[in-house]
Amino acid sequence: MTFGEQPAYLRVAGDLRRQIVDGSLPPHARLPSQARIREEYGVSDTVALEARKVLMAEGLVEGRSGSGTYVREQPVPRRVARSGYRTGGSSTPFRQEQADSGARGTWESSSEQAGAPAEIAKRLGIEPGERVMRTRYVFRDAGEAMMLSTSWEPLAVTGRTPVMLPEEGPLGGSGVVDRMAAIDVVVDNMVEEVGARPGLAEELVLLGGVPGHVVLVIGRTYFASGRAVETADVVVPADRYRLAYHLPVR
């Protein structure tokens, strides 16, 4: 193979991908069989199989037991708005983040005390195993799960205070900034890091994806005078949503 030349299975996958994108193979159409791919492209069974695997890994096609492989209907990506924290009113951070698109979301949550895993402890600046309040969320838009979040707050900060449980008490459901202010902790900085990875099986079950689907992961941490007071991982399906940041220019 000369420099720059693609392997045969990638060339076949690329041509089939083009047909899917331009509509020659529309949604719900059956993908050519392995035998037909072999004949049309003059390749081996192994190449034909690998080309189909590429399209499946990209989420362009899906296998149906006993029926074959079909082109998936691709969702039109929707925006998840992210911005600097905005105070005022009873709006939750979830509603604030969707305010620009006029979305109306609901969510489910559960909180429990846990020992901080090593990576979370590093983000919070505490020792591994130190007690944190871990809260898991499933956010829904029109009933469809669209975002997951797991939050960790050091109990050294919130323990035995009215805001120890993020979704209960007088400030239940309020954002981190308002809840911390209620115990005289002034949040003055927030950092977000965005990455992508294949979704975990348990995430894709909740989000309605298939194995191999990519998710966007937002690692967010709130700070008060240099001390981390909350960190969270927010998980969004990459094929259905785009992150839109609205940040002030200073």
Q: Tell whether the torsion through CA atoms of 80, 82, 85 and 87 is positive or negative.
A: negative
Q: What is the pLDDT of residue 231?
A: 98
Structure tokens at 249: 């220019």
Q: How far apart are CA 75 and CA 60, in angstroms?
A: 11
Q: What is the pLDDT of residue 149?
A: 95
Structure tokens at 35: 């035998």
Q: How far apart are CA 51 and CA 182, in angstroms?
A: 57
pLDDT per residue, tens digit, the chain (250 aa), is: 343 478 999 999 999 999 998 999 999 999 999 999 999 999 999 999 999 999 988 888 988 888 889 998 877 777 777 765 444 444 445 555 555 455 567 889 999 999 999 999 999 999 999 999 999 999 998 888 999 999 999 999 999 999 999 999 989 888 999 999 999 999 999 999 999 998 998 998 899 877 778 899 999 999 999 999 999 999 999 988 888 887 777 6
For the range 116-123, what are the long-range contacts, defined as Cβ-Cβ under 8 Å and sequence gap of 24 or more?
116/152, 116/154, 120/152, 120/231, 123/219, 123/221, 123/228, 123/231
∠ CA 233-74-54 to the nearest 5 degrees? 85
Helix axes 45-57, 8-22, angle to 10 degrees: 50
First and final CA of the chain: distance in angstroms?
52
List the beta strands (DSSP E) in 57-143. Answer: 61-64, 68-71, 78-83, 105-115, 131-141
Q: What is the pTM of this model?
A: 0.72
Q: Are 152 and 233 contacting, i.e. CB atoms less than 8 angstroms apart?
A: no
Nearest to 147 by CA among 155, 156, 137, 157: 137
Q: How far apart are CA 230 and CA 228, in angstroms?
A: 6
Q: What is the pLDDT of residue 1?
A: 37
